[in-house]
C-alpha cells in the first residue's frame, strides 16, 4: 500500500516547527534579559511577589547549603568553589541554562523514540519474530529520525557547552583556577570535549549505518527472488544489537548522566534503555493505528495492536523496576555523595518526580492489564499519550535539576522545544514512510505476520 505524506500533515508539521521556533526564541530572549547588571533587582522583585514564594526560596537556599556540605565529604576544594559563587551568580547561571536545557530535553526525547524503535526493530530481525513483519515499514519510517535527531542532540550539546555540562566550564580542571573541581578533574580522562564529541559521532554513525543498510536490505528483499537480503539483515541486526548495548550505555553516561558529573549510577544505561523502548513501542503503535485508520495497513489487525500494547505494558513495568531499583538502592544506603541526586529531585521536583511514576507505571499498569482493552485503539492511543508525556518528564527530571535547579517550570521554552522537535519528527518520519510501500512483501515471515492472530 502506497502512502504519501498528506498536505495537511505537512502543513501541520511546519506550523509546529514555526510555533516551536517562536517559543524557543522567546525562551532565549527572556533568559538573556536577566544579566549581571539587573540580577539583584530581578531577585528583589521576585521576592516581593508573595510571601509564600519568598519563604519557599528560603527553604531551597537552606537546601543548597546542605547540598554543598554533602559535597564537602568528597571534595574540599569543590565546596570552596561553590562557596565562592554568590547567590546572584548561581541564579543567573540557572536562568541562562533553562532555554538550553529545554531544547536539549525535547531533542533527546524525540531522538530517543527513534533509537528505541531501531533497537526494537533489530530485535524483531534477530529473534525472527513472526508477528511483526507487517510493521517493519512503520518502524523503518520512525528510525529515519535517528541520524538527524542524533546530530541535532550533538549540535545542541556543542552549542550549549557549559550551560548543560558543568564539566565543560573553563578552568574546572585547572588546579590554579578558582573554578577547580577535584572530582571533575579526576574524571577528565573520560569527560572532555574532544572525547565527548568523538564518541558521540561514533555512536550516531554506528546506529545510522545499521539503519541505512537494514532499510536498504529490507527494500531490496521486496524484489529479490531468494532470502539473501533477509539473511543479511538478520546478521547485521545481531551485530548491531551487540554494538548498540555498549554504545547506548556509554551514550547514557555522556549525554545524560554527565550533567551531574559528581554523581554516578551503574544501572543508568539500562534505565534509559527501558524508557527508550517503551516510548519507541508506543510510537510504533500510535503510527500504526493512525495509518490503519487511513486504511493503509490492511494486514495489521487487532492482534498486532494487542502485541504492541503488551510490549508497552511490559516495558513500562520494566522501566519502573529499574527506576525503583536505582532509587531504592540509593535511598536505602543513603550515602551522601549519591543521595544528593534524589534529594534535589524530591525537594524541588516533587510533582514531576512522583507524577512521573503515576504516568509511567500506575496508569499503564491499570489501563493495559485487561487484554480486551489492549485491542481497543483509542485505549492504546490514550495510554500512549500518557506514557509519552510521562517519559518526557522522566528526561526532564534527569536534566533540569542539574542545570536550572529549583528554577524549573514547564513553560514557553519547554513547550516550544517540544513543538519544534515534534514538527521535525513528524515531517521526517512521515516523509520516510511515503518512500516505499508499507508492506514488506517478500519477508519470509510476512504470510505468518498477515495471518497473525492472538
Partner 1 sequence: MEASKVIHAIYTDDDILMSAVKKVKAERFHIEEIYTPFPVHGLDKAMGLAPTRLAITAFIYGCIGITVATVMMNFIMIKDWPQDIGGKPSFSYLENLPSFVPIMFELTVFFAAHLMVITFYMRSRMWPFKKAENPDPRTTDDHFLMEIAVHNNEESLTNLLKETGAVEINIVDNNEDAH
Give the interface with partner 1 as residue ranges (CB under 8 A): 324, 327-328, 331-332, 334, 369, 371
Nearer to partner 1, 45 or 371 (CB): 371
Nearer to partner 1, 11 or 328 (CB): 328
Nearer to partner 1, 100 or 323 (CB): 323
Please report how the helices 336-348 and 302-333 are oriented relative to each other, as an axis angle in degrees rounded to 10: 120
Please report how close the Cβ of residue 328 comes to partner 1 at its closest, in angstroms: 4
Which residue carries 548495548 as its cell? 245
Closest CA to 220 of 4, 448, 436, 447: 436
The answer to whether residues 344 and 401 touch, using CB atoms and an 8 Å cutoff, is yes
Task: Say how far residue 146 (Cα) sits from the centre of its chain.
Answer: 12
Give the 3-state DSSP-derived string for 372-419, with helices as H, strands as E and coil as C.
CHHHCHHHHHHHHHHHHHHHHHHHHHHHHHHHCCCCCCCCHHHHHHHH
Please report how close the Cβ of residue 330 comes to partner 1 at its closest, in angstroms: 10
SS3 content of the chain, % helix, strand, coil (to 5): 80, 0, 20
The answer to whether residues 424 and 144 touch, using CB atoms and an 8 Å cutoff, is no
Please report how close the Cβ of residue 349 comes to partner 1 at its closest, in angstroms: 17
Nearer to partner 1, 53 or 324 (CB): 324
Nearer to partner 1, 39 or 346 (CB): 346
Nearer to partner 1, 11 or 366 (CB): 366
Please report how close the Cβ of residue 333 comes to partner 1 at its closest, in angstroms: 10
Please report how close the Cβ of residue 278 comes to partner 1 at its closest, in angstroms: 19
Please report how close the Cβ of residue 320 comes to partner 1 at its closest, in angstroms: 10
Amino acid at each position: 500500500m502506497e502512502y504519501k505524506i498528506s498536505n495537511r500533515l505537512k502543513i501541520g508539521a511546519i506550523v509546529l516547527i514555526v510555533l516551536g521556533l517562536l517559543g524557543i526564541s522567546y525562551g532565549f530572549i527572556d533568559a538573556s534579559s536577566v544579566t549581571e547588571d539587573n540580577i539583584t533587582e530581578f531577585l528583589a522583585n521576585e521576592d516581593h511577589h508573595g510571601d509564600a514564594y519568598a519563604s519557599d526560596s528560603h527553604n531551597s537556599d537552606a537546601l543548597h547549603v546542605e547540598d554543598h556540605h554533602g559535597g564537602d565529604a568528597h571534595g574540599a576544594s569543590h565546596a570552596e568553589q561553590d562557596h565562592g559563587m554568590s547567590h546572584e551568580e548561581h541564579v543567573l547561571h540557572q536562568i541562562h541554562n533553562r532555554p538550553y536545557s529545554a531544547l536539549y530535553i525535547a531533542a533527546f526525547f524525540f531522538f530517543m523514540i527513534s533509537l528505541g524503535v531501531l533497537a526494537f526493530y533489530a530485535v524483531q530481525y534477530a529473534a525472527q519474530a513472526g508477528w511483526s513483519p507487517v510493521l517493519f515499514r512503520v518502524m523503518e519510517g520512525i528510525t529515519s529520525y535517528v541520524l538527524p535527531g542524533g546530530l541535532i542532540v550533538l549540535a545542541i550539546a556543542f552549542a550549549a557547552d557549559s550551560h548543560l555540562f558543568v564539566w565543560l566550564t573553563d578552568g574546572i580542571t585547572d588546579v590554579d583556577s578558582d573554578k577547580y573541581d577535584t572530582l571533575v578533574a579526576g574524571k577528565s580522562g573520560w569527560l572532555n570535549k574532544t572525547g565527548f564529541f568523538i564518541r558521540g559521532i561514533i555512536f550516531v554513525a554506528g546506529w545510522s549505518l545499521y539503519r541505512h543498510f537494514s532499510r536498504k536490505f529490507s527494500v531490496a528483499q521486496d524484489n529479490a527472488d531468494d532470502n539473501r537480503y533477509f539473511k543479511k539483515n538478520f546478521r547485521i541486526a545481531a551485530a548491531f544489537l551487540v554494538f548498540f548495548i555498549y554504545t547506548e550505555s556509554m551514550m547514557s553516561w555522556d549525554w545524560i548522566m554527565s550533567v551531574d558529573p559528581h554523581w554516578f549510577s551503574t544501572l543508568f544505561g539500562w534505565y534509559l534503555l527501558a524508557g527508550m523502548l517503551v516510548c519507541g513501542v508506543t510510537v510504533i503503535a500510535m503510527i500504526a493505528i493512525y495509518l490503519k485508520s487511513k486504511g493503509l495497513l490492511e494486514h495489521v489487525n487487532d492482534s498486532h495492536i494487542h502485541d504492541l500494547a503488551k510490549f508497552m505494558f511490559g516495558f513500562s513495568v520494566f522501566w519502573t523496576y529499574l527506576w525503583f531499583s536505582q532509587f531504592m538502592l540509593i535511598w536505602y544506603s543513603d550515602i551522601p555523595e549519591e543521595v544528593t541526586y534524589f534529594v534535589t529531585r524530591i525537594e524541588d521536583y516533587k510533582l514531576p518526580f512522583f507524577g512521573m511514576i503515576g504516568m509511567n507505571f500506575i496508569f499503564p499498569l491499570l489501563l493495559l492489564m485487561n487484554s480486551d482493552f489492549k485491542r481497543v485503539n483509542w485505549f492504546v492511543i490514550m495510554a500512549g499519550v500518557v506514557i509519552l508525556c510521562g517519559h518526557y518528564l522522566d528526561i526532564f527530571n534527569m536534566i533540569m535539576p542539574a542545570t536550572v535547579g529549583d528554577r524549573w517550570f514547564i513553560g514557553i521554552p519547554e513547550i516550544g522545544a517540544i513543538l519544534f522537535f515534534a514538527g521535525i519528527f513528524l515531517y521526517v518520519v512521515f516523509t520516510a514512510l511515503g518512500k516505499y510501500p508499507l508492506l514488506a512483501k517478500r519477508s519470509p515471515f510476512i504470510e505468518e505476520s498477515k495471518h497473525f492472530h492472538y
